[in-house]
Structure 1
Amino acid sequence: MTAPLRRWLTPVVAVFAALAVLAGPLPAAAAPTPPQPSGHGDDEPKLLDDLIEARNRAYVQSQAKLKKSEKRQRELALEVGRAQAELALLAPQVNEIAAQSYRTGRIGAVSMLLDTANPDSFVRRAAALDELNLVNSKKLAEVNAVKARAEQAKLAADAEVREQQKLRNELARGKREAEKALALVGGRGLTGGKVVAESPVARQAPGRTADGDWKPQGCTESDPTTAGCVTARTLHMYKEVKRAGFDRFVGCHRTGGPYEHPKGRACDWSLQNRGFAPWHNDDTYRYGNDLTAFLVRNAELLGIYYVIWNRQIWFPATGWKSYSGPSNHTDHVHVSLL
């Protein structure tokens, strides 16, 4: 039996002992340095790092668009002010027209022309009326044009305000989504951003009640990895992880110890095809990251209790915390089921 296999057969570190160091610093021994990002083809899955970069680019573009919108709003506000000032200057002329109408009463053009003593008077009145109407029409047209310009500028300014609010909401939402997506899978400290941006969706595990709780299950199913047993929920998780493409070495049931392995509620997913060895290159690092991402993204569907990977432990209720113990979990991903 190889040393890595003997290490796996030792009891898993106690969860409660782990909880005592969740908030503590990382162990003194330095964790392996994540490999540097490398290019990948169009046919490969996008990394979460790529997604974060794309959202950052979109954020910068939206910020520029927002500044442009704010500048346009200021210009429109000035336009409204200029139009209002012009209206104030035209107000006396409008008042003059109104006063003139008040003095002349409701006498129409026909009455004004018929009320003449001779033909010469008729011609003079007709010319005067024509001139008056022309002047008044120009003045009123000018007033209406300025009013229309002010109203259009105000509508455009209001539209800019609405667009700015929309942009701010989009920026805030994009930031929240990016932060949430990265935090869910352990952030850059755990993954270095080298983790698949999306994971397959697992099928619902058995034993969930109508109110969302999980029924206790006994170790009734044959463990496909050992001669022991696992629960139906653990077997379902095992099959879903395999179905998602993670087909390297795995061990589930283990005798001895008070925690999940002896109860058939835990599995250790190696990074190697045989045995266990710490991650040492991009392939094994990515495998651990992507497997971990699949588990935490599907935790609610699979009934996951906690996940441990690369000196970090994740609980659905608390998220990721630092972890140290007899095994630093740099050679496998541990998952326990409810």
Structure 2
Amino acid sequence: MTAIARRQGPRRVTALLAAAAVLVTAPALLVTTARPTPVLAAPSSPGDEGGTKKLRDALEAASKGHVEASARLQNSKKRQVRLGTQLKEVEERITVLTEEVGVIAAESYRTGRLTPVSALLNSASPDAFLERAAGLDMIAQRNDRQLRLLGESLDQAARAKAAIDAEVKEQARQVAVIARKKKDAEKALAAVGGNPTGGFISANSPLAKSAPRNSDGSWPRESCTINDPTTSGCITPRTLHALRQAEANGYRRHTSCHRSGGGGEHPKGRACDFSAAAGGFKNESATGGDRSYGDAVASFYVKNAGRLGVMYVIWYRKIWMPGTGWRSYSGGGSPAADHTNHVHLSML
């Protein structure tokens, strides 16, 4: 062995050890195909959730406003139904009481408006006197009671009608809010070419179990308090419920929810990205079975938006929101930005 070989020996050993370390720590690099398709940890394009911060804020405000107004509208309609039932019952009671009061009035007219004094003076005997006195007392009590009940029922009917009128006005206000929020969303989406388009909807999508709501039908305010099973971060309870419902219905490919960097819903624990490919996020648009899988995930969340509290879904250059339906969407040209390699879910 020459001096040069002896000097190069340690260098060769060091190089071999470094190469071995690369092979151990990066097995994905051993896979070779005709066209490399690296698997990404998660979509990392700055615009991968919903474009600019201004657009994301506008979409969030429009979607939340629509959902909240819709809940208030439905609650108002329910109250109107209850008030209508109460009004019907009161009106039926008024009809009966009016007839009874009419009979009493007719009897009084027929007897010549018999007064208590004349009735008692015309008594033929002490016993008749007592009977007439008792009868007069009963008639007076009955008249007072029936008239009081009739008056109370008329007041109740008036209040019920006023309350129904108020609910009708409330519904008109909420319908106006829904229309305004839809226009806000359309205006925001117009900046990214958000024209109405066909989308991913399937009647065969499974039904999810509903997430908990407040007693008035609104969604509880939630923060990032639950450990995210897909990352080391946190998510909201409602986001976890939506994730678990997808898994329960067979959508179990790689998913990433919380991300600490960037804007949008991921750092808040209110968003998840569902890889179209089975092995993870690939830097290429999904085709074939992978695209069908993405279609199915998007359809599942659209069908169950009201049950789960979905704010919007983005998939394959399209975005869905309550009130607007599917609209075209362009995020910047890359598979991550255009959401052609993953389905994005944002939660309320």
**TM-score of the superposed pair, with normalisation by structure 1:** 0.46
Instruction: Find the structure with the greater CA-based Rg.
Output: 1
**TM-score of the superposed pair, with normalisation by structure 2:** 0.44
